[in-house]
Structure 1
């Protein structure tokens, strides 16, 4: 599951690395065969050191996406202001809703 606002998975934001699930077959893939245990541990430590920076970048991207959505919404919404003394139509039908069964209003 890829997060669209920043392109990272929740697993990578939590643990700092992507998960590799090996298939249960006899033929190894390049990603599982080329793993060096010592070098892999060093890389994982480096990824954990850089994890906070990656989280900050994801938070910045998410804030940019939220700001973009807010601007998009605010550009299309019509602002209405009411002053004391203005007449406002109030429908009383909504307060006397009939029970519609399981999916009806409470």
Structure 2
């Protein structure tokens, strides 16, 4: 199957030609009806053009990633906290192993005691003890 991001199959990018399925080998098709010499010549030509196909596929993939990035960034909602605001922290950040689906996803509340310019925060728990390290906000 061709990849959506570049329009090529991984096989064709690797070997310079499309794969021949087993049904196609036994059935009379344009590829199987050509002579042995013609098939080898086509394979050699495709192999010579493979680098160009890879470069074109890489260009299409970059364009596709830019398009996906624009789509994602148009829908991202930035969240900024101010000093003194109370917030919850996601459990995934502080727990090393999965606790199962019934485990709470959020913990806190924590008070923001310092807010950086690019979404970095220092937190303190409800009794005023500072939480180690700097935390970043994320939007989902």
If the TM-score is normalised by the length of the shorter chain, which range does it land in? Answer: 0.7 to 0.9
Do the aligned partners of 1:13 and 1:55 also contact (CA within 8 Å) in 2? yes
TM-superposed deviation, 1:71? 0.4
Tell me, yes or no, if the aligned pair for 2:11 and 2:18 is still in contact at 8 Å: yes
Structure 2 gap ranges (5+): 104-140
Which ranges of structure 1 fall in alignment gaps of 5 or more residues? none
Counterpart Cα distance in 1 of 2:21 and 2:6: 23
TM-score (normalizing by structure 1): 0.72
Q: Name the CA shift for 1:81/1:45 in 2 (closer, same or farther; >3 Å).
A: same
Instruction: Please identify which structure carries the higher helix content.
Output: 1
Q: Deviations over 1:1-40 (max 9, x none)?
A: 22112221111111000111243997x4133542211122
Larger RCO (alpha carbons 8 Å, 6+ apart): 1
Structure 2 counterpart of 1:69: 68
- Structure having the higher strand fraction is 2
Q: 1:53, 1:25 → 2: CA distance? A: 28
Structure 1 residue 72 displacement after superposition: 0.7
Aligned residues: 100
Matching of residues 1-106 of structure 1 within 5 Å? 1-23=1-23, 28-82=27-81, 85-91=83-89, 94=91, 99-100=99-100
